[in-house]
Amino acid sequence: MKHAVLPEIVVAFRKLSVAIRILSEKKLVEKMNGVAYQFIVDFQRILEEYFGEHFTSLAVHKLLHLPGDCLHFGILDSFSCFRFENVLGKLKRDIMNAKKKPLVTMTKKLKINSNFQSQVHFPGFRSTAKPIYSVADQVIVEGQDFEFYYGIQWKVKLDDTDENGHFSACNGRIFKLNHITYYPASGEVELESQEYQNVEAAFELDKFSLKSNCVGIYKVSGLSNRIKTLNLDDFEYKFVHIVVNNEIYLYKLI
């Protein structure tokens, strides 16, 4: 992005990104609340200079109130409205399609969805098929073990692609996940991984000398050829994996 837009605009969005991450992290929301507020102020000031005052819509202005709200209500996820907003489109379509008795139709659908969700042990992983896979040199089919296995995968990976299997251990080191091994008899889970030798800040904001690794944004390289086996208890955070100009950047999921 830095090669396509002015450096000042890049800095503005970096500050906004860091501010949101501060307000989303329990360990930082009070300690660095003032820094987050100043970054949001700088973001609005810089963009007003380049795009005009009309850029500051009501939605953008509301960003200034987030640091104060977090002091009263906790981190951003504690009072997020996205869960409800994401459903509005579906509710509208359902109501429009229900030509007669829309309230009755919606009540029935909500009841069905509620019953279905209560049966799901791990959100996002449910299958009515019977896939077969290898677990600790055994071959098992769908059942409790199958749901548990995919629940573990959901916990340590962003999705089911190899690229998004990056995580940090409790000692702070960052790994690329190669394979998950589940032992049904003992209930143990092993993570076969490779460690990144070089982990550094992706960028630094000069005004506060704040490096991005303080809020979980890293630039990594030098993947070791050695395979290490970690236990599930060693797992701490998973990451979003982004490649820019053949360089790997990792954003911690809070």
pLDDT at position 128 is 32
pLDDT at position 136 is 46
pLDDT at position 161 is 67
All residue ranges of the chain with pLDDT < 50 are 114-144
Q: How many helices (H) and strands (E) does the chain have?
A: 7, 11
The first and second tokens of residue 202, run together, are: 């992706």
pLDDT at position 225 is 93
pLDDT at position 6 is 80
One-letter identity of residue 197: Q
One-letter identity of residue 214: C
Per-residue model confidence as pLDDT tens digits over 8-64:
888 888 888 889 989 988 888 998 899 899 899 989 888 888 888 777 777 788 899
DSSP symbols for 65-122: GHHHHHHHH-SGGGG--HHHHHHHHHHHHHHHH--S-HHHHHHHHHHHHHHHHHT-SS
pLDDT at position 123 is 34
> Which are the contacts of 223, defined by CB distance < 8 A and separation ≥ 6?
176, 194, 195, 196, 197
Helix (H, G, I), strand (E, B) or coil at 206: coil
**Do residues 65 and 38 lie in contact, with contact meaning Cβ atoms separated by under 8 Å?**
no
pLDDT at position 222 is 94
Q: Where are the domains of the chain?
A: 7-80, 83-118, 133-252
CB atoms within 10 A of CB 43: 23
pLDDT at position 135 is 47
